[in-house]
Structure 1
Amino acid sequence: MNGTRLLLPLLAAVLLTGAACAKADSGTPGDTGSTGSYAADAAVVQVSYVGGFVSPDMLVTRLPLISVYGDGRVVTEGPVIAIYPGPALPNVQVQQISVADVDKLVKLGVDAGVGASTDYGQPGVTDAPDTKFAVLTTSGLKTSQVYALGEANGSGLTDAQVQARAKLKAYLAQLTDLPKTLGQDAVSASKPYEAKGLAAVSRTWNADSSGVGQQPEIAWPGPALPGEPVRTGFELGCVTVTGDQLTATLDAAKKANTATPWTSGGKRWSVTFRPLLPDEASCADLKD
């Protein structure tokens, strides 16, 4: 009897301990982030296109669809005027959300399956890009990369693969409509993003054959072109423009278009501009 009395408290303690452990392990506490746990310039949530049938210049300079940073900045590419040749500089915009809402977006990403060992299948579509999701959690960076996410209609996919893709599509829709996802008052008005650096990706300039006529050349005010090679197999160079040269280059680029020949070192160059994002410092960050 005394032995039974001694065992009951011990059994209760074991059960309580087991329940506590089960509660601690039931969710994903290490994956939801915590308010104030991120560096201001850390890319906490990011969605990008990878690969696809696009020009080498675009493969190198393509901006992420959305980048959410630790301090609540949300960087996206805004609309571009429908003219040809188009403006030389991309229309990069920034909005602001709260750090608490950054955590909400992390949690939504984890719930959608980012970072999970999921088979998304390989649909019968050619030349489409992969859509890469990256979410920075307190247990590390989680990523998922899905081929032809926006184009596949289920052909060649299992029901499980279609459902898994649908979760990521829904998450992307949430990220691209933050006022709906977080609340109208939770997202600031959009304004131009002011980059602290600019990657200038160049290749030898060729006369335009589309009938738009000769473009006036502009003297290149930045570091000498073409710079360091970028991406193996591409005849592209890249220079990082900062400081006073950044100001001069941005001023010149505002007067240029995508077909403008830039002169540097006695040669003409075509230049594609890529503003560096808060978590990027140089051309080397575009080589991944």
Structure 2
Amino acid sequence: MTRLRGGLIAVACSLILLSAGCAQGKAADDAGDGGPSLLADAVALRVSYTGGFVGADALVSRLPMLTIYGDGRVITEGPQIAIYPGPALPNIQVQRISTVDVETLINRALAAGVGTTLDYGQPPIADAPSTRFTVHTSAGVKTAEANALGEATTGAGLTEAQVAARKKLQDLLAALTDLPKTLGADKVSKSDPYQPVTLAVITREWVADNGVPGEQKPIAWPGAALPGESMGLNLGCVTATGKELGRALDAAKGANTVTPWTSGGKSWTLTFRPLLPDETGCADLRRTS
């Protein structure tokens, strides 16, 4: 009986030690990441334009300036060739940083005032877009938004406190748009073309533009019937994925921004908007426009 009790005590002690070891391991994991636990395709930090004087199709299809995801992907719109009409497809680039640096940038954004009640004022500049910062934290989504952030730092219409608050966001924006300088060149991967899983296409009826140089040859749209679901503002939207995505991208490579596309006996102007990892369809573009 004494031997049995001793064995039970030994097993119990082993279980206690094993449990303590597991708890210690989880605590170590938690200590290694003080930020929110984000899925790979979840937005950690995003900078985007809102409003401003732009056309309806440009407003709906506008890409965020920068999006950083939970797994460290950084997606931006790269430089575009300066010709008119320009290429039909946007130049979207993806880089990678570590999840530790994702947390560093989240904390930097919070320190710059994102999620606070700072007053950024309203500079006397007409039709300028606002710059919105969105950060996902363990306490929820934090935002900050300032109008004409890139155009007004001092001057009429702003108090000293507002100028100071805007300067914090301007410095944050500069840091986020130059990650090799902010984090170190060895902490940021080279840029690669972004490969979308789904392509959204904003549609409107084509109208001839006499100011466009050269002949614009029509291209038959290889995807779903146009104009697709209504987006308001006389716009439609369709999506392409799988084999249809490949056909659409191949066709778009030979097109420009004013190419007439044919579908259902009509001609259409198409604006191509690759969906980002956190987006699934046209409804996402409607919410962000």
Partner of 1:191: 192
Change (3 A) 1:164 1:188: same
Map 1:70-81 onto structure 2 (within 5 A).
70-81=70-81
Q: Is residue 278 of structure 1 aligned with residue 277 of structure 2?
A: yes
> Matched residue of 2:74: which SS?
strand
Cα distance in 2 for residues equivalent to 1:160 and 1:35: 30
Partner of 2:237: 238
Partner of 2:181: 180
Count of residues paired in the alignment = 254
Contact 2:123-2:148 at 8 Å conserved across structures: yes
Contact 1:80-1:91 at 8 Å conserved across structures: yes
Q: Is residue 135 of structure 1 aligned with residue 135 of structure 2?
A: yes
Instruction: List runs of 5+ in structure 1 lacking aligned partners.
Output: 1-32
Cα distance in 1 for residues equivalent to 2:223 and 2:160: 53
1:36 deviation in Å? 7.5
Instruction: List runs of 5+ in structure 2 lacking aligned partners.
Output: 1-32
1:118 deviation in Å? 1.3
Change (3 A) 1:211 1:237: closer
Cα distance in 2 for residues equivalent to 1:268 and 1:213: 18
Cα distance in 2 for residues equivalent to 1:283 and 1:81: 27
Structure 2 length normalisation: TM-score?
0.86
Q: Among the aligned pairs, what percent are the same residue?
A: 60
1:177 deviation in Å? 0.4
Partner of 1:223: 224
Map 1:1-288 onto structure 2 (within 5 A).
34=34, 37-154=37-154, 155-230=156-231, 232=232, 234-288=233-287
Contact 1:35-1:99 at 8 Å conserved across structures: no
1:34 deviation in Å? 3.1
1:35 deviation in Å? 5.7
1:115 deviation in Å? 0.9
Q: 1:171-227: CA deviations, max 9, x gaps?
A: 000000001111110000001000000110010001122141330111101111111
Letter paired with 2:107? K
Contact 1:46-1:135 at 8 Å conserved across structures: yes
Cα distance in 1 for residues equivalent to 2:214 and 2:226: 24
Contact 2:72-2:102 at 8 Å conserved across structures: yes
Structure 1 length normalisation: TM-score?
0.86
Greater Cα shift, 35-44 or 261-270: 35-44
